[in-house]
C-alpha cells in the first residue's frame, strides 16, 4: 500500500544470485527484520526499513510505481528497463544510486567460435538472440548496424545451435557457458554489478532521512569490504 510513508521499503531478489549478498550487505548496515510467513515481506526491527522479496525483473517497475522506495538489482536489468521505457516515450522513473560491488558480470556479444571476428559490421543482416532488446538495439543503432534482434526470455546461449540466431547478446561472468556452446565473446556492451536503485528525485518526507542514514551506513560497510 502507498499509505505508510514513514518507513522505507527496499525490494530485493527473493532467490537467485543477488538475494543473499543483498541481505548480507543490508544486515551489515545494521538492519534486521522479522520475516512474514509467506516470505514476501520482511518487517524492519532495528530501523523502519522493510524488505520486499521479489523477482529481480520486477524491481525497477516497483520503484517506478512507488510500491517500493529503493531496490537492489543488476545494473543490466535497470538499464534495460530504463531503455525500454525511454523507447516508449516515458520519462526516467528510476536511477542508480550506488554500485554495490557484488554480482559482477558483463552484457556481451558472442559469436560462434568459428567466426573470424572483424567488427560490428559483420552482424549486418544477422539475427542476434537476447533478453536485453533495448540495450542491444541501442548499441546496434550506435554502431550503425542493421541486424535483427530475436527476443528470448531464457537459454539464449543455445539459440545459435538451434538455428534461431547467428549470434547472441547475453550476460557473461566466467564465460564457461559460452565455451560449452561453442561461442566466444567479442564485444562488451555493459559492465554490470548489483546496484542500489532509487527514484530520480530525492524523497521529500521522512524517507529522505532514512535513505540518507542508509547511504551513510552503506558507504561505511563498502569501505570496510574494499
Q: Which residues bind Zn ion (CB under 5 A)?
A: 56-57
The least CB distance from residue 71 to ligand ATP, in Å, is 12
CA 153 to chain centre: 15
Instruction: By CB under 6 A, name the one of 8, 10, 12, 18 that touches ligand ATP.
Output: 18
Stretch that binds ligand ATP, among 35-43, 49-57, 81-89, 179-187 (CB under 6 A): 49-57
Looking at beta carbons, which residue is closest to ligand ATP? 74
**Which option in ligand ATP, Zn ion, none does residue 137 bind, with CB closer than 5 to 8 A by kind?**
none
Q: Which of 76, 81, 137, 181 forms a contact with ligand ATP (CB under 6 A)?
A: 76
CB nearer to ligand ATP: give 108 or 128: 108
Close Cβ partners of 144 (under 8 Å, ≥ 6 residues apart) = none
Show the cell assigned to 116: 573470424
Q: Is 125 in the site for ligand ATP (CB under 6 A)?
A: no
Paired with 204 in beta bridges are none
Pick the closer one to ligand ATP by CB: 60 or 103: 103
Task: Pick out residues in 157-196 that bind ligand ATP (CB under 6 A).
Answer: 171, 173, 192
- Listed in sequence order, the residues at least 6 apart from 24 whose beta carbon sits closer than 8 Å to its beta carbon are none
CA proximity to 198, closest of 211, 182, 181: 211
Site mask, ligand ATP, residues 77-96, x = CB under 6 A?
Answer: x-------------------
Residue number, 51 or 73, with CB nearest to Zn ion: 73
Interaction of residue 16 with ligand ATP, rule CB under 6 A: yes
Q: Are 137 and 189 in contact (CB under 8 A)?
A: no
Are residues 135 and 80 in contact, defined by beta-carbon separation less than 8 angstroms? yes
Helix (H, G, I), strand (E, B) or coil at 43: strand
How many residues bind ligand ATP (CB under 6 A)? The answer is 15
Cα 77 to Cα 142: distance, rounded to the nearest angstrom: 20
56 belongs to the binding site for ligand ATP (CB under 6 A): yes
Q: Which residues contact 220 (CB under 8 A, 6 or more apart)?
A: 29
Q: Which stretch binds ligand ATP (CB under 6 A): 29-37, 69-77, 90-98, 203-211?
A: 69-77
**Nearest residue to 141 via CA among 189, 181, 209:** 189
| 92 to 48, 80, 87, 128, 175: CA distances (angstroms) | 27, 12, 11, 27, 32
- The least CB distance from residue 16 to ligand ATP, in Å, is 3
User: By the criterion CB under 6 A, which residues form the site for ligand ATP?
Assistant: 13, 16-18, 55-57, 74, 76-77, 103, 105, 171, 173, 192
Amino acid at each position: 500500500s502507498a499509505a505508510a510513508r514513514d518507513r522505507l521499503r527496499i525490494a530485493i531478489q527473493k532467490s537467485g544470485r543477488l538475494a543473499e549478498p543483498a541481505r548480507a550487505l543490508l544486515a551489515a548496515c545494521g538492519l534486521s527484520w522479522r520475516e512474514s510467513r509467506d516470505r514476501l515481506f520482511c518487517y524492519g526491527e532495528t530501523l523502519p526499513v522493510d524488505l520486499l522479496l521479489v523477482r529481480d525483473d520486477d524491481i525497477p517497475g516497483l520503484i517506478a510505481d512507488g510500491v517500493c522506495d529503493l531496490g537492489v538489482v543488476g545494473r543490466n536489468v535497470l538499464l534495460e528497463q530504463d531503455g525500454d521505457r525511454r523507447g516508449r516515450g516515458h520519462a526516467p522513473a528510476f536511477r542508480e544510486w550506488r554500485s554495490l560491488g557484488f554480482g559482477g558480470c558483463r552484457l556481451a556479444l558472442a559469436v560462434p567460435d568459428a567466426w573470424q571476428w572483424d567488427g560490428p559490421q559483420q552482424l549486418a543482416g544477422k539475427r542476434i538472440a537476447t533478453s536485453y532488446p533495448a540495450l542491444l538495439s541501442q548499441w546496434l543503432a550506435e554502431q550503425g548496424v542493421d541486424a535483427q534482434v530475436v527476443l528470448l526470455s531464457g537459454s539464449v546461449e543455445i539459440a545459435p545451435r538451434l538455428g534461431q540466431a547467428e549470434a547472441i547478446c547475453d550476460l557473461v561472468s566466467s564465460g564457461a557457458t559460452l565455451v560449452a556452446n561453442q561461442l566466444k565473446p567479442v564485444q562488451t556492451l555493459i559492465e554490470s554489478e548489483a546496484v542500489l536503485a532509487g527514484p530520480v528525485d530525492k524523497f521529500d518526507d521522512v524517507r529522505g532521512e532514512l535513505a540518507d542514514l542508509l547511504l551513510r551506513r552503506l558507504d561505511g560497510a563498502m569501505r570496510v569490504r574494499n
